[in-house]
């Protein structure tokens, strides 16, 4: 079920605005979208970003999100999440690109908190610990200085934003003998894998399209077989789908 707006006041004031009703057409998302009475509703572009980035995920991952809300957060704090499945986005005007990146990062925290089986969580902990303080073992500086959970969220977000860019980075490191980043890449390949006629994984690409009046995004996903070495075999991929 989708519930839009928890505040009676808000509903009375504005009987379902078009941006708010956006998710109502997609009940399979099963996520409550909410906003504080004192903050503006989600914009249409933000609703579209939420829809695309959530819809592209396997359902079990999507189910880690229970509520997405907006709050008046301090400047410099674009979003946060809680272990019971809530993602809070800042109500400040933030460019859609940064807004979406922050959302995907918080989504990464929920996958970590609520999706990873205990064995995989332990495996991530090992990888992150092995990374030490070597920058080449991380996808970004923030993942490096942050702790294990930040490393996971950043790495998960990069896999969704640009799987192949991530693969290229991991291959570059592996070519000079630094293989931990490749192990992290393979970790993400595994959590996005599924069995069809053979084992496949989901490969993603997030693109932004802007014109003067609005900014939009497209999430692309394709299924790519994963042979024994755990790296997607792109030449045999199925065609991509836009979300
Ligand atoms: Zn974080």
Region class of 112: left (phi > 0), else alpha (psi between -120 and 50), else beta = alpha
CA–centroid distance, 105 to ligand 1, in Å, is 6
CA–centroid distance, 236 to ligand 1, in Å, is 35
CA–centroid distance, 12 to ligand 1, in Å, is 35
Predicted pLDDT at 20: 56
CA–centroid distance, 109 to ligand 1, in Å, is 7
Domain boundaries, the chain: 1-115, 117-243
Neighbours of ion ligand 1 (CB under 5 A): 150, 153
Q: Tens-digit pLDDT profile for the chain (243 aa)?
A: 333 443 333 333 334 444 555 555 566 677 888 776 777 888 888 888 998 999 999 999 999 998 898 888 999 899 999 999 999 999 898 999 999 999 999 999 999 999 999 999 999 999 999 998 888 899 987 667 668 899 999 999 999 999 999 999 999 999 999 999 999 999 999 999 999 888 999 999 999 987 766 688 999 999 999 987 889 988 888 889 998
pTM: 0.88
| The 3-state secondary structure of the chain, one letter per residue | CCCECCCHHHHHHCCCCHHHHHHHHCHHHCCEECCCCCCCCCCHHHHHHHHHHHHCCCHHHHCCCCEEEEECCCCCCCEEEECCCEEEEECCCCCHHHHHHHHHHHHHHHHHHHCCCHHHHHHHHHHHHHCCCCHHHCCCHHHHHCCHHHHHHHHHHHHHHEHHHHHHHHHHHHHCCCCHHHHHHHHHHHHCEEECCCEEEEEEEEEEEECCCCEEEEEEEEEEECCCCCCCCHHHCCCCEEC
CA–centroid distance, 104 to ligand 1, in Å, is 10
């Amino acid at each position: 079920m989708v519930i839009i707006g928890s505040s009676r006041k808000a509903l009375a004031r504005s009987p379902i605005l078009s941006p708010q009703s956006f998710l109502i057409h997609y009940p399979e998302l099963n996520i409550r979208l909410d906003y504080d009475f004192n903050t503006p509703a989600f914009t249409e572009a933000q609703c579209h970003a939420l829809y695309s980035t959530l819809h592209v995920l396997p359902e079990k991952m999507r189910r880690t999100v229970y509520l997405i809300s907006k709050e008046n957060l301090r400047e410099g704090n674009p979003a946060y999440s809680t272990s019971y499945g809530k993602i809070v986005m800042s109500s400040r005007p933030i460019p859609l690109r940064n807004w979406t990146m922050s959302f995907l990062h918080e989504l990464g925290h929920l996958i970590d908190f609520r999706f990873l089986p205990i064995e995989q969580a332990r495996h991530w902990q090992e990888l992150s610990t092995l990374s030490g303080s070597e920058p080449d073992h991380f996808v970004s500086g923030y993942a490096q200085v942050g702790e294990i959970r930040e490393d996971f969220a950043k790495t998960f977000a990069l896999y969704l934003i640009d799987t192949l860019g991530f693969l290229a980075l991991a291959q570059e490191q592996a070519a000079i003998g630094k293989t931990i980043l490749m192990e992290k890449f393979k970790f993400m390949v595994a959590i996005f894998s599924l069995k069809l006629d053979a084992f496949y994984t989901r490969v993603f690409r997030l693109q932004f399209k802007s014109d003067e009046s609005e900014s939009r995004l497209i999430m692309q996903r394709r299924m790519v077989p994963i042979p024994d070495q755990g790296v997607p075999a792109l030449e045999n991929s199925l065609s991509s789908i836009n979300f």
